[in-house]
Amino acid sequence: MARDFPEITNFGTAFRFALEAEGAAADLAAAAQGLAPDETWRAKLEELVCTHEDRVQKFRTIRQEVNEMTLEPISDFHGRQYLAELTAEPAKSWPAAAEQVIAAEEDVAAFHEDFVAHADDVLAAAARAFKRAAKQEREKAAELRGML
């Protein structure tokens, strides 16, 4: 499940990082489905996979709009701090797989929130999408935590 997380140097690479993060979280949720103890968990994890895949499509559309703008470089925003779970091999047992998915949701939410801090002035509409995504990620992590 190797992903190519770029160094964040501008808005384009920040968007690429977001797309990779969403894809990695979807991969972890999909891998956890096979370890889920019951149908409730499998359905919830499938919902997460679909949510991440939908978000990738939405972010690609936003990225296309952003690509048409002239944007300043980003020099003080780094992606390494969000990668602990997103670059890890999927857990091989339950509930470790669920814990990993929860941690990935939290990492992706943190990235989205931090990106908003860098993008809010320049990208008001995109920033709203990332804020909404971060809120949804946090809600899903809390919901999954409640199911454990």
Give a yes or no: residue 92 inside a domain: yes
Q: What residue has token string 């919901």?
A: 143
User: Over the chain, what is the mean pLDDT?
Assistant: 89
- Tell if the pTM clears 0.85, that is, is over it: no
Give a yes or no: residue 5 inside a domain: no
Residue 37 φ/ψ, nearest 5 degrees:
-75, -20
Instruction: Domain of residue 137: give its range.
Output: 11-70+77-147
CA 95 – CA 99 distance, rounded (Å) = 6
DSSP state of 10: S
Q: How many domains does the chain have?
A: 1
Q: pLDDT per residue over 9-49, tens digit each?
A: 888 888 899 999 999 999 999 999 999 999 999 999 999 99
Tell me which amino acid residue 51 is: T
